[in-house]
């Protein structure tokens, strides 16, 4: 079994998220009417919400950066490289898109049979060919390992738990303005707590994707050089078109400061580079 460490972590976090989800459904049933119809409605509504969030999340990520189809004639080498990697890994070729993000970056969305890789124009201009191939291999690894879906579903479950917590505060209080603001605070805190488990996987999956990319391109130095250039490019860039939710899916994410490191979606870039060159 490939990447047993990642699979075990995803299974553990999946079980924890399911437990949070079960508690949220049970709480909705208990506080809002103890009947079979209420329970069925809570389960159906929550499943639909996660599904809608997954679909909308993918669409919103692509729309937020203005992603366009990557022309096969203009970017022939990129398409050929992706096709080669997909044949070797028995992976359906994902849709390739290009966008102006304001910073050099790339991200992947979708599942293994229906994925999309987005590369910024700034990244293509910045990197050498082998460095760019390392970044794309990293994104293909995310789709192949199915960790993108885990991230997006985890965000959906965290939202459900947070919403239920908000309504419990509202319905158990006096339903005044103070309870309204308290509900917002409690809902956000509960959602943040649930997301901590998803973030733990997010950081680990970056190391796994780096290791996969290293094997795909036959060495870690091209991707390490790419990360160095991307880090410098993000420091120098004034305007980024990448919002917070999409940033979690990108190959590079800012994690300066102690709090940001604790809740970061990415491990420190220096550690990633060190592992790639070890």
Cα torsion through 59, 61, 65, 67, rounded to 10: -50
DSSP structure string for 216-233? HHT-SHHHHHHHHHHHHH
Helices 269-277/177-217 angle, 10° precision: 20
Residue pair 115/126 in contact (Cβ under 8 Å)? The answer is: no
Taking the C-alpha atoms of residue 193 and residue 191, their distance in angstroms, rounded to an integer, is 5
CA dist 49 → 154, 175, 277 (Å): 12, 25, 43
Residue whose C-alpha is closest to residue 71's, from 63, 81, 79, 59: 79
Catalytic residue selected from 133, 139, 228, 244: 139
Say whether 139 is catalytic.
yes
Catalytically annotated residues:
139
């Amino acid at each position: 079994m490939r990447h047993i460490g990642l699979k075990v972590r995803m299974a553990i976090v999946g079980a924890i998220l399911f437990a949070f989800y079960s508690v949220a459904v049970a709480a909705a049933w208990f506080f809002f009417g103890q009947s079979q119809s209420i329970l069925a409605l809570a389960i159906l509504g929550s499943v639909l919400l996660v599904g809608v969030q997954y679909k909308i999340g993918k669409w919103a990520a692509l729309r937020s950066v203005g992603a366009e189809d990557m022309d096969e004639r203009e970017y022939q080498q990129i398409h050929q490289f992706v096709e080669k990697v997909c044949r070797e890994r028995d992976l359906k070729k994902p849709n390739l898109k290009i966008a102006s993000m304001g910073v050099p970056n790339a991200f992947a969305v979708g599942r293994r049979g229906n994925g999309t890789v987005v590369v910024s124009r700034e990244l293509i201009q910045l990197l050498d060919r082998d460095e760019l191939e390392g970044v794309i291999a990293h994104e293909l690894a995310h789709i192949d390992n199915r960790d993108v879906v885990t991230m997006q579903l985890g965000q959906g479950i965290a939202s459900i738990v947070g919403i239920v917590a908000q309504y419990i505060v509202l319905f158990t209080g006096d339903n005044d303005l103070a309870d309204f603001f308290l509900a917002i605070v409690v809902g956000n805190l509960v959602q943040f707590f649930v997301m901590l488990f998803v973030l733990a996987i997010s950081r680990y999956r970056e190391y796994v994707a780096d290791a996969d990319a290293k094997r795909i391109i036959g060495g870690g130095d091209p991707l390490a050089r790419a990360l160095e250039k991307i880090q410098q490019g993000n420091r120098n860039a004034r305007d980024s078109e990448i919002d917070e939710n999409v940033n979690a899916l990108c190959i590079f994410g800012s994690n300066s400061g102690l709090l940001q490191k604790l809740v970061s979606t990415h491990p420190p870039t220096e550690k990633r580079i060190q592992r790639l060159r070890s």
